[in-house]
Chain A
Amino acid sequence: MSQIISCDLVVIGAGMTGMAASLFAANRGLKTVQVGVTGEIIFASGFLDILGIHPISEKKSRPDPWAAIHALKQDCPDHPYCRLTVVEIQSALDEYLAFTGGCGVPHYWEKTHNIEMMTPQGTLKITGCVPWTMKNAVHALREKPPGLILDILGLKGFSAHQIVDNLKETWPDLHSARIAFPDTAHLGEIYPEYMARSLEARVCREKLAAVIRPHVRNARIVGLPAIFGIHNSPAVQADLEAILGVRLFEIPTLPPSVPGIRLKEMFEEALPKKGVRQFLQERICDVLPEPDNGFLMELAGGNAQGQKIRSRGVLLATGRFFGKGLQADRNRIRESLFDLPVFQPVNRSGWYRMDFLDPRGHSIHQAGLEIDKNFRPLGTSGAPAFSNLFAAGAILAHQDWIRQKCGSGLAIATAYGAVSSFINIGH
């Protein structure tokens, strides 16, 4: 049996919240261990939503995310964003974006304004930041130059024709064509990740440019599914643009898509370099509170089966149902690890509305952990369940990240808030 690992903070969860929390903890000099199976993060589209819609029942689209947060604070005083000032939320995003940008996954945003970007179905989505490789699309959607969308033979769920058709009112001078990705005639079905990795080699970029060139004609900008490399996509894009002499942009594909894979691989490479000890094939099978307000945990699965970890604090970033932070049986919703009280509708009939697309959203999304002002989940008495247990991200109650379009922003900002609180309280 290996020695017990001792640390300041254990971050449980390896989605966007867990990654951001580990980053913030490491940046503040905390000895940090992160545990959780990475998987969900590859479902990320690459869009970083801050707050796009409020109130959701009115489907009100918000050009200014900060004004939207001010309104949210008035209307929904229990929303997790209300535990933070706008300046704190902005600082969290600045710190996060500076880090990802430095690791080869830069974003584009306009800070004071939300931006609009196209989805793989050709609908428009409001968001806060997009991968840098999609920047040209944001501008083109406003300027509407002669444009071309390309799809790829053998890539399913992505039809350039469909995107162009759905965008025709917004961007009339947009056309579509289909290309064959170089050296894939033997493959039949072809996946974005395969193409992205291939394009990291210059020879493949030259071949792709040769395939694209005859379709360009008078187009001044060309959009492709997200395939511009995994590790340094802006450089892959810039080189392709130089070879072709035309501006390019990426459109996300159906998940799991390349922008999600970029995030996953970047975090798994960069966080250990900052001193975060990661156990990403393992899960916590047992957790015991200790007399000094710390915790003793044991790992299961992976190579570190049985490994024990002692920490002063724990940050719960285990997500909702898809992340397995919450579990539901026929009768009620539970928190998976500590069996913490979960705010929830009285019974299953109240979880979901009769209409899937009901504009008011489903009540189950408001379920989750209620927290004090320091991001500590409440116990049955209404006081924090443990003095050094913190929670962040989608597991928190009183938010609907899907409908409010605030998923990544909520993850990053509450991770920032929870880590700050741990430093203030737990030190």
Chain B
Amino acid sequence: MPILTQLHKTQALIIGGGATGTGIARDLALRGVACILAERADINAGASGSNHGLLHSGARYVLNDAMTSVECREENLLLKKLAAHCVEDTGGMFVAIEGDDPSYIAKFPELCAGCGIPVAAIDPETAKALEPELSDRVIAAYLTLDASIDPFKLSLENISHARKLGTTLLCRHRVAGFEMDQGRICRVRLIHTENGAEVLVEADQVINASGAWAAGIAALAGVSIPMVYSKGSLLVTSSRITRRVINRLRPPGDGDILVPGGTVSLLGTTSVQIDAPDQAHPSIAEIDRIVEQASQMIPALESARYIRAYSGVRPLMGSHAEDGGRSQSRGFAVLDHEKDGLKNFVTISGGKLTTYRLMAEKGADLVCHRLGVSSPCMTRTQPLPASPECRWSEPGLTPKLWLKAHDAEDMLLCECEMVPKSAVEGVISAIQAQRIQPDLRAISLRSRIGKGPCQGAFCSLRVSAYLHDRDAAYSDRELTCISDFLRERWKGLRPVLWGGQLMQAELQEALQCGLLNLELKQRN
């Protein structure tokens, strides 16, 4: 059967469904601009879904990057107020231990004051009383306004609100090419990544918000963007280690930050320059370095159980990097490509999760100016609404609901994170509303499925049996789906396989290969 090409007309096409793209979609939708958002994979598939979940106070960048510091400080306060349901206001603590550079410790309060960032000095005994897991070797400590933010919920809420305001979301659509005419992009050709169907979009403005892939997208339009890729790797502990965000009081380096994220803690990061944004995965050497460094600050991290690791790619603006990109600015750029000869094309890249809203605002300002839309930005004042379809990614939520409802027929499909059938149904409805096939990948992105200690070993099988029962058409792709899901999880498991998590991996392989023969179903 021939697949018919669809043609869409819209005011703005946004490329990329991460924090920036979904943020721009909401910003523009609030100003009454009709938008389509095209995403190659799924919401937060890039760096927006593989970062620290840290809402920076700004204190981390006071030494090298005062502008980013100030932006972080302002956005931190705004998001705590306007997106409170995505933020856990844990507070932060910067600690130095014996051997850390005394001159940096001495000038830290002054540098913070210079950026208007409030910090409060506390003595090491008080620090230890507030955070008992801290090392006995702490020599200086400051309380800060750092907090934890759920990046999945944030982007899902942004796109959910944008869709209510009329935005069209096209997930699993990659940009295949641009048609240019008289200094304008007149058409964008999208291809569905699964069924190959073609979608043509005629947009007045095209916004490139594809993060680490922005240079690749711009190149399709004949525009060159200098960009450096910095890989950052992180570890997830099996339980929460501290109450606050803990940050090493030294110039930014590896294994400096521990961020609580619901029931777990996230430990990172590294900064390794890589050549291309695809296929960034954590290496064993990086993981060892993070654990060694962070254990100096919090000794329990040496013996903690880690359930997985992951890597994200920071898109840093510039043409080269030293020390793996660690000293590169975390600032963002709005690139007006009019200077490159394209009047309706703009790229927004760089930046931090913390500053996503500001990036969206600046990008939307330029687009609105070009469209002749005079409405002001509203994301600075209007709270991000909480939508019921976005709540399933919250750690600890489904156990609460499940225990409260006490419905005997509501089976737990994921036993580690206690995700019942009813929650999976909720997620499936949300996925179908976004016109995506509800498979394991899409479900795990929007829920806690596969995020617990078993890392999907059992729940992937239960969920696939369940999907099968509710939808006969699911069958053909199913074994491939399980295998793909397990392979994807594996990238994050492999570097943390020792101790308890290695026992778990052995059980998983005995089940999935020993009993179910999944390895034999693969084509060579």
Contact = CB atoms under 8 A, between A and B. Distances in A.
B516 interface: yes
Given A254-B511, A322-B510, A355 B498 contact: no
Contact of A121 (B497, B499, B516): B516
B413 A156 contact: yes
Given A43-B507, A252-B515, A255-B511, A162 B458 contact: no
Contacts of A70: none
Contact of B478 (A53, A162, A327, A328): A162
A388 to B, nearest CB: 29
Interface stretch (A3-11, A104-112, A186-194, A277-285): A186-194
A257 to B, nearest CB: 10
Contacts of A321: 502-503, 506
Contacts of B320: none
A73 interface: no
Contact of B517 (A123, A254, A407): A123
Interface string B453-465: 0000010011011
- A interface SS class: loop
Interface stretch (B64-72, B99-107, B402-410): B402-410
Interface stretch (B308-316, B345-353, B479-487): B479-487
B436 to A, nearest CB: 21
A137 B498 CA distance: 39
A330 B458 contact: no
A330 B411 contact: no
Contacts of B458: 157, 254
B101 to A, nearest CB: 28
Interface in B331-346: none
A58 B497 CA distance: 26
Nearest to A406: B514
Contacts of A356: 486-487, 489-490, 493-494, 509
A384 B226 CA distance: 63
Contacts of A351: 497
B524 interface: yes
Interface in B117-172: none
B9 interface: no
Interface residues of A, number: 52
Contacts of A124: 517
A13 to B, nearest CB: 15
B517 A43 contact: no
Contact of B466 (A156, A187, A348): A156
Interface stretch (B108-116, B187-195, B468-476): B468-476
Nearest to A49: B514
Contacts of B513: 357, 402-403
Nearest to B421: A156
Interface residues of B, number: 55
B82 interface: no
Contacts of B12: none
Interface in A311-325: 320-322, 324
Contacts of A154: 409, 411
B116 to A, nearest CB: 42
Contacts of B465: 121, 156-159, 162
B475 A166 contact: yes
Q: Which of A159, A324, A351 is the most central at the interface, judged by chain B CB atoms within 10 Å of its CB?
A: A159
B408 A330 contact: no
A411 to B, nearest CB: 13
A352 interface: yes
Contacts of B3: none
A155 to B, nearest CB: 9
Nearest to B410: A188
B97 interface: no
A163 B471 CA distance: 14
B411 A189 contact: yes
A349 interface: yes
Contacts of B479: 121, 123, 166
A355 B524 CA distance: 12
B149 to A, nearest CB: 30
B435 interface: no
A189 B413 CA distance: 11
B182 interface: no
B411 A119 contact: no
Given A165-B468, A252-B515, A121 B461 contact: yes
B483 A254 contact: no
Contacts of B516: 119-121, 123, 125
B468 A161 contact: yes
B228 interface: no
Contacts of B408: 186-189
B200 interface: no
Contacts of A355: 487, 490
A81 interface: no
A328 B502 contact: yes
B521 A123 contact: yes
B233 to A, nearest CB: 15
Given A154-B411, A157-B465, A329 B499 contact: yes
A159 B468 contact: yes
B414 to A, nearest CB: 10
A352 B493 CA distance: 10
Contacts of B411: 154, 156, 188-189
Nearest to A252: B515
B493 to A, nearest CB: 8
Contacts of A354: 281, 491, 494
A45 interface: yes
B517 A125 contact: yes
B514 A407 contact: yes
B519 interface: yes
A96 interface: no
A317 B518 CA distance: 28
A329 B490 CA distance: 19
Contacts of B288: 330, 348
A165 B505 CA distance: 28
A405 interface: yes
Interface centre among A119, A322, A405 (most CB of B within 10 A): A322
A393 B517 CA distance: 21
A345 B399 CA distance: 41
A401 interface: yes
Contact of A357 (B291, B483, B515): B483
Interface in B51-65: none
Contacts of B502: 321, 328
A59 interface: yes
B284 interface: yes
A361 to B, nearest CB: 8
A47 interface: yes
B522 interface: yes
Q: Which of A43, A121, A322, A330 has the most CB of B within 10 A?
A: A121
A357 B519 contact: yes
A302 interface: no
B498 A357 contact: no
Nearest to B302: A330
Interface of A: 43, 45, 47, 53, 59, 61, 119-121, 123-125, 154, 156-159, 161-162, 165-166, 186-189, 252, 254-255, 320-322, 324, 327-330, 348-349, 351-352, 354-359, 362, 401-403, 405, 407
Given A43-B507, A356-B494, 8 more contacts: A121-B479, A123-B479, A123-B516, A123-B521, A158-B465, A161-B469, A357-B487, A357-B519
10 contacts: A123-B516, A159-B465, A161-B472, A162-B475, A165-B468, A165-B475, A188-B408, A349-B285, A357-B487, A357-B519
A-B pairs with lowest CB-CB distance, top 10: A188-B408, A356-B490, A159-B465, A162-B468, A165-B475, A402-B514, A188-B409, A157-B462, A357-B519, A321-B503
